[in-house]
């Protein structure tokens, strides 16, 4: 008897599909589209979350910055000893960091100063610069750029060097010594490493 009921239900369902075929196909296609859109949004959100968590793991726990009149200014290096004297502080590493607005492309580049003789404030930077000789870069006036920076510079006809424009309007040329490839594109795509 149970087998007869299942066959009858199946027969009824197939008959209903035959009678309202166009409507059924339309509902099926709409549901497929909605599932596709929902899956795409969830996949993109998850990819962004993974990228941010990977970047977050490489950042220091606390970053000390000084702002004067809404602009970031230098913190004196002498304050490192004062910070190290605080309870719970294990390490204090100074950094040179800032933004450079490249007007022709309308983008900001992140500039990070690196020293050949000091450990960078991020472990990730030491991994990125492992293949480059920083002391030679410093002598020759070179820099290492991320893939995104390289693409923007090439679009604006800078393939071998880049002219920074100082606040006084003077040019400060630096040779593009190399391009680093990182698995964290969010962090290193707009990055310029300058010794």
Q: Residue 31: which pLDDT band, with cuts at 50, 70 and 90? A: very high
* Span of 19-33, 146-160, 179-193 with lowest mean pLDDT: 179-193
The contacts of residue 1 (CB under 8 Å, 6+ apart) are none
Q: Residue 39: which pLDDT band, with cuts at 50, 70 and 90? A: very high
The contacts of residue 137 (CB under 8 Å, 6+ apart) are 116, 143, 144, 177, 195
b/e code 16-35 from CB counts within 10 Å (16+ = b): eeeeeeeeeeeeeeeeeeee
Q: Which residue is listed with tokens 């472990």? A: 123
CA–CA separation, 126 and 78 (whole Å): 24
Global pTM reads 0.60
Please state the rounded mean pLDDT for residues 166-187: 78
* Percent of the chain topping pLDDT 70: 83
Burial degree of 159 (CB within 10 A; 0-12, 13-18, 19+): exposed
pLDDT at 36 over 60: yes
pLDDT at 82 over 90: no
> What is the C-alpha R_g of the chain?
28
């Amino acid at each position: 008897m149970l087998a007869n009921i299942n066959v009858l239900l199946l027969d009824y369902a197939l008959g209903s599909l035959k009678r309202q075929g166009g409507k059924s196909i339309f509902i099926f296609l709409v549901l497929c589209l909605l599932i596709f859109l929902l899956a795409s949004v969830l996949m993109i959100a998850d990819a962004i979350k993974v990228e941010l968590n990977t970047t977050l793991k490489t950042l220091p726990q606390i970053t000390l910055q000084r702002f004067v009149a809404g602009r970031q200014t230098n913190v004196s290096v002498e304050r490192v000893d004062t910070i190290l004297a605080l309870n719970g502080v294990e390490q204090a590493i100074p950094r040179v960091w800032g933004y450079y607005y490249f007007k022709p492309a309308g983008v900001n580049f992140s500039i990070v100063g690196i020293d050949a003789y000091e450990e960078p404030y991020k472990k990730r930077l030491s991994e990125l610069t492992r293949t480059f000789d920083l002391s030679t870069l410093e002598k020759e006036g070179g820099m290492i750029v991320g893939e995104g920076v390289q693409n923007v510079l090439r679009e604006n006809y800078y393939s071998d060097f880049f002219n920074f424009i100082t606040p006084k309007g003077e040019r400060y040329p630096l040779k593009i010594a190399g391009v680093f490839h990182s698995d964290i594109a969010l962090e290193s795509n707009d990055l310029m490493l300058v010794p």
